[in-house]
């Protein structure tokens, strides 16, 4: 599976937008980009996924670079509840097995 | 809808003992996964079932770990005998099945295992 690179941690202020970057320079043409997050003492939670075009849902937006070698998860207004570890994951369309990396720990300050 | 259920939530055992974890996926979900999450790391996939068949178990330590999914619904993960390095949270997840609709995995709360 292609690898992803994320910053270990990021800080944000409450009610401000947050941009979480992910590099995946070895992505293949059929790899989907998934984002999950894990709140303290809980299992991971699906956030969003995409292939080539930018995606929006009620939780977040996913901006995918034109060459697909990087992507950014955008939380439009961070709340204290958004403090979590955010994982950027690639998976091929041959299956939906997820290989989690270390993720980015997002801290939200009031 | 009800989420993925797991039990027990916590378990403490001594090394060389046996332990079993149970998972009940979301109703109608054909695919079931078991992950191991060691403290400070991301989850690692141990085994994936499609209905009652194994899709991938390449990262399951088969000398001590076993898993089954009888009748394609509930699943059990067993460790026998346990080692200190098995201390981790064991997560169960489920998804609808193959294809685009299956890309969202729903995770249970996990079972925290401590081996002393």
User: B41 — phi, psi (to 5°)?
Assistant: -120, 165
Measure in Å the smallest separation between the Cα of B70 and chain A Cα atoms: 21
**CA gap B76, B86 in Å, rounded:** 16
What residues of chain B lie within 8 A of the CB of A32, using their CB? Answer: 103
Q: Closest by alpha carbon to A108, among A23, A36, A47, A20?
A: A20
Q: What is the DSSP string of B53-82?
A: EEEE-TTS-TTTEEEE-GGGS-EEEEESS-
Measure in Å the smallest separation between the Cα of A36 and chain B Cα atoms: 9
Tens digits of residue pLDDT in B30-70:
999 999 999 999 999 999 999 889 999 999 999 999 999 98
Of B48, B104, B109, the CB nearest to A43: B109
Instruction: Report the chain A residue with the minimal C-alpha distance to residue B90.
Output: A43
pLDDT above 90: residue B2: no
Measure in Å the smallest separation between the Cα of B83 and chain A Cα atoms: 23
Residue B67, C-beta contacts closer than 8 angstroms, at least 6 positions apart: B34, B46, B47, B49, B57, B60, B75, B76, B77, B78
Tens digits of residue pLDDT in B90-112:
999 999 876 655 678 999 999 99
> Which DSSP category does A5 fall into?
B
Of A32, A96, A101, the CB nearest to B42: A101
Mutation site, B104, B106, B111, interface A, largest A CB count within 10 A = B104
Of A43, A46, A87, the CB nearest to B104: A46
Tens digits of residue pLDDT in A16-68:
999 999 999 999 888 899 999 999 999 999 999 999 999 999 999 999 999 99
Of B41, B98, B102, the CB nearest to A102: B41
What residues of chain A lie within 8 A of the CB of B48, using their CB? Answer: 95, 97
């Amino acid at each position: 599976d292609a690898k992803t690179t994320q910053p270990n941690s990021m800080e944000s202020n409450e009610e401000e937008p947050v941009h979480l970057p992910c590099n995946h320079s070895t992505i293949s043409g059929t790899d989907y980009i998934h984002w999950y997050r894990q709140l303290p003492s809980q299992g991971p939670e699906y956030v969003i996924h995409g292939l080539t075009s930018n995606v929006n849902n009620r939780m977040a937006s996913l901006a995918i670079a034109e060459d697909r070698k990087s992507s950014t998860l955008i939380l439009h207004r961070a709340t204290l509840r958004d403090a979590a570890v955010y994982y950027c994951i690639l998976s091929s369309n041959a299956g939906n097995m997820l290989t989690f990396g270390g993720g980015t720990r997002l801290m939200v300050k009031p | 809808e009800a989420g993925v259920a797991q039990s027990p939530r916590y378990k403490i055992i001594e090394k060389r003992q046996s332990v079993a974890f149970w998972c009940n996926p979301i109703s109608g979900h054909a695919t079931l996964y078991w992950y191991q999450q060691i403290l400070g790391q991301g989850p690692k996939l141990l085994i994936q079932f499609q209905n009652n068949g194994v899709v991938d178990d390449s990262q399951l330590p088969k000398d001590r770990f076993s898993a089954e999914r009888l009748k394609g619904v509930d699943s059990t993960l067993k460790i026998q005998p346990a080692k200190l390095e098995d201390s981790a949270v064991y997560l169960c997840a489920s998804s609808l099945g193959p294809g685009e609709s299956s890309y969202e995995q729903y995770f249970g709360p996990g079972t925290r295992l401590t081996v002393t």
